[in-house]
Amino acid sequence: MDPVALPRRLLAEFLGTALLVTAVVGSGIMASRLSPDDVGLQLLENSIATAFALGALILTFGPISGAHFNPVVSAADWFLGRRTRTGLTATDLAGYTVAQIAGAIGGSILANLMFGLDAVSISRNQRAAGHLWLGEVVATTGLLLLIVALARSGRASAAPAAVGAYIGAAYWFTSSTSFANPAVTIGRAFTDTFAGIAPSSVPAYIAAQLAGLLAATGLLLVLYPHAGAASGDVVVHHPAPRSEETR
């Protein structure tokens, strides 16, 4: 059977990333309104909502596109699956990346509008410091190790709970609050709210996330030498549709 058609997968990646960023930004706005004088409580509310939403979105879109919602996840999938031809193709990777970035920007706009703000409000929240960049390297490396380990060990079905739990925890144990996603980072520049990041801070965050990608890829090649054989299951196995669905 043919795999899920690329346009359907790109739509799933666009919608999934958009709704993920909507959850991140929207819960951040709600938290700042409900708990205006307690930043710690705001972060708790934001992290819980994000973790639960991410798990639900992986369940929703995983069977279609794999529920990457993240260019570094897609890049790792492409790189590790090149030899075995089990992961994304270069064309897929380019399409996924564009869909994810567009979705992330759309998600910020949607969240802004839902809370009565201007559709686009460029963030002024500066996040520029070495310890924050280190936090992004750690967050991204850990995320990729988890995802590929789940796929390689045949536990991709645990990804909704495991990935959601990791991101929820990484909000707290990393200095950067774990963006770990270039598309989400770009999208969050379009909201001047609790979850925003100033455009001038975006390039360094993305560079740190790419460093995390390189670190994770190197570690995976050592820890899981045959990880590429499971690239088709990153993040979630997306099986071929039934024949009648492709007609």
Interval 60-108: pLDDT, tens: 999 999 999 999 999 999 999 887 778 899 999 999 999 999 999 999 9
Q: Report how far residue 156's alpha carbon sits from residue 61's, in angstroms, rounded to the nearest whole number.
A: 14
Residue 87 near residue 156 (C-beta atoms within 8 A): no
Model confidence band, residue 222 (pLDDT cutoffs 50, 70, 90): very high
189 pLDDT more than 50? yes
Question: For residue 137, is pLDDT > 70?
Answer: yes
Contact 64, 8 (CB under 8 A): yes
In angstroms, how far is CA 66 from the centroid of its own chain?
A: 12
Instruction: Give the whole-angstrom CA distance, residue 64 versus residue 87.
Output: 14
Q: Can you give the pLDDT at residue 153?
A: 85
Q: What is the pLDDT of residue 156?
A: 87
Cβ-Cβ contacts under 8 Å for 33 (sequence gap 6 or more): none
pTM for this predicted structure: 0.92
Residue 199 has pLDDT above 60, yes or no: yes
CA angle 143, 212, 9 (to 5 degrees): 55
CA-closest candidate to residue 89, choices 98, 97, 102, 79: 79
Band (233; pLDDT cuts 50, 70, 90)? low
Structure tokens at 123: 């963030």
Q: Which residues contact 8 (CB under 8 A, 6 or more apart)?
A: 64, 65
Using the structure block, give the residue that is written with the tokens 């798990």.
55
What does the radius of gyration of the chain's CA atoms come to, in whole angstroms?
Answer: 17
> Residue 42 corresponds to which amino acid?
Q
Of 1.20.1080.10, 3.40.50.720, 3.30.70.270, 1.25.10.10, the CATH number of 6-241 is 1.20.1080.10
Can you tell me the mean pLDDT for 50-55?
98
Phi and psi at residue 66, in whole multiples of 5°?
Answer: 95, -10
Contact 65, 12 (CB under 8 A): yes
In the chain, where the domains are located: 6-241
Q: Evaluate if residue 230 carries a pLDDT over 90.
A: no
Is 70 exceeded by the pLDDT of residue 243? no
User: 28 pLDDT band (50/70/90 cuts)?
Assistant: very high
User: pLDDT value at position 238?
Assistant: 57
